Each structure stands twice: as C-alpha cells, then as structure tokens.
Structure 1
C-alpha cells in the first residue's frame, strides 16, 4: 500500500515537473487512459501523438525521482 502511494506521489511530481520544464508543450499520459498502451512501444518513456509529446507513466516516474533528487541536491548545497 505504501509503495503505491509513493509511486503515485512520484508520478504526480513528475507530471508537474514535465509541465513546468516544457512550458506546457508536453503532457503526461492519463492515469485511467489506455493511450499509452495503444500509441507507444513497450517500455517507452514517451511518444508523439498529433504533434505533441506525451510522457508515459514510467517516464513520469523517472521525472519525479529526478525532481526530488534535484531538490535534495539544492537543499544540501544551501545548507
């Protein structure tokens, strides 16, 4: 149960980080949608659909982990 909550928090953080870094040009795949299974290759981190980059849930997970690692590094450097 705890692992699922942590994963959802990381994916949510990754979704926000991707929006902010890409200035809204990219978006994350929907939690309840199946477009990621239909349009992307197996194991893909992102894919293009109608000219827009869509980050898969795995890609959002990596982006969330990276966002927290950067935040940790900034906090350690500031201390």
Structure 2
C-alpha cells in the first residue's frame, strides 16, 4: 500500500505541475494567491507527501481553478 500511495503522490504532483504550466503560474504565485508556504507547494510537486484538504483548497485558489481539476488525471492502481 505504501508503494501505491507514493506513486499517487508523484502523479498528483505531476498533474499540479501540468496545471501550473497550463495556467502560467509559478510556485511563488500559487503560494501567494493560495496563502500557502512555497515549501508546501514544492513538497506536493515533488511527491513528498499527499496534500491535505486545506492544501488542496489553497492550491486550487492559487491556480484560480476548481479543486476537482487537481484530481483530473489518469492513475494506474496496479503495483508494479
């Protein structure tokens, strides 16, 4: 279970990066608008840990999107 969780964190971070590129936002902008520490954004981007509900809301606010967009990515539930 630990492996699949880590894999999910990485996929979530990759999707966050894709959204940041799509909406032309950098870490500092997302952090500032979302009122979150830049360190927290970097940790999610790097797949270091899962984002809490509060962090998800802050990231969505920082990107100026609906939170559901952060979860709109393909994820394989199979463990390799």
Please indicate the TM-score interval, normalised by the length of the shorter structure: 0.3 to 0.5
Q: TM-score, normalised by structure 2?
A: 0.38
Structure with higher strand content: 1
Larger Rg, first or second structure (1 or 2): 1
Structure with higher helix content: 2
Q: Which has the higher contact order (CA 8 A, sep 6+)?
A: 2
Q: TM-score, normalised by structure 1?
A: 0.38
